[in-house]
């Protein structure tokens, strides 16, 4: 543990709104050019999650933001890279705030299903690196080790020929840190854009 001054930050939900608004502003102008998806298409997206941290951290629930990008190798199989960062804090006593920040970089294997046009449910598994940072009473400690996740969700496209979709996902993130393993359930919602020609 080492002492350090912690600079004040905007509230987590404000940061989430700014992040999502920025992503939409960046993607919005190119959306018309992305109309149409097809075989071997790419996919990019961003989402916001309500994250419940492992009970061992004693901080309850917090926010988590993600960026994703990937490629569909076949109609069902997709590879996806994901960077996600979440945090939560708890003030047990006045002036005694405990904060946990979890940052993961994951490579996901995604299995997609196509029950009908415009609806694409999926399951995924991912593995990568996770950095866990603990802050309390002006002190901080961090550890970087393995990260992993299991998740399932669905994309709901805005029209049968649209490249933009609402993505809803339920997941369990896991990470190893401080010689222990931790698990964090979450539910996320965001926007995703599939890149490429329209499917046949």
Rounded average pLDDT per 10-residue block, the chain, 200 residues: 44 54 47 46 95 92 96 92 95 80 97 88 97 89 96 91 92 95 97 79
The answer to whether residue 189 is domain-embedded is: yes
Identify the H or E element spanning 26: helix 12-27
DSSP character at residue 166: E
CATH code for the domain in which residue 105 is found: 2.40.160.20
In the numeric block, the tokens 């609402």 are attached to 166
The answer to whether residue 23 is domain-embedded is: no
Write out the residue range of the structural domain in which residue 105 sits: 45-195
Q: CA 23, CA 164: separation in Å to the nearest integer? A: 13
Residue 159: its pLDDT value, please?
79
Residue 161: its pLDDT value, please?
75
Identify the H or E element spanning 189: strand 180-195
Q: CA 45, CA 157: separation in Å to the nearest integer? A: 13
Q: What pTM does this model have?
A: 0.78
The answer to whether residue 51 is domain-embedded is: yes
In the numeric block, the tokens 């809803």 are attached to 168
Helix (H, G, I), strand (E, B) or coil at 24: helix
The answer to whether residue 36 is domain-embedded is: no
Question: What total number of domains does the chain contain?
Answer: 1
């Amino acid at each position: 543990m080492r002492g350090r001054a912690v600079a004040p930050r905007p509230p987590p939900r404000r940061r989430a709104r700014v992040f999502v608004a920025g992503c939409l502003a960046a993607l919005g102008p190119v959306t018309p050019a992305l109309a149409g998806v097809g075989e071997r298409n790419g996919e990019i997206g961003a989402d916001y999650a309500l994250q419940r941290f492992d009970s061992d951290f004693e901080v309850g629930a917090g926010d988590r933001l993600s960026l994703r990008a990937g490629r569909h190798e076949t109609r069902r199989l997709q590879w996806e890279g994901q960077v996600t960062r979440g945090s939560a804090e708890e003030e047990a006593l006045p002036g005694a705030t405990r904060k946990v920040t979890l940052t993961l970089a994951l490579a996901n294997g995604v299995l997609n299903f196509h029950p009908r046009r415009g609806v694409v449910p999926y399951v995924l598994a991912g593995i990568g690196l996770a950095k866990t940072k603990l802050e309390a009473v002006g002190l901080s400690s961090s550890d970087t080790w393995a990260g992993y996740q299991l998740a399932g969700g669905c994309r709901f496209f805005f029209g049968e020929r649209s490249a933009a979709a609402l993505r809803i996902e339920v997941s369990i993130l896991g990470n190893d840190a401080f010689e222990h393993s931790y698990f964090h359930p979450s539910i996320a919602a965001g926007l995703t854009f599939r890149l490429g020609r329209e499917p046949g």
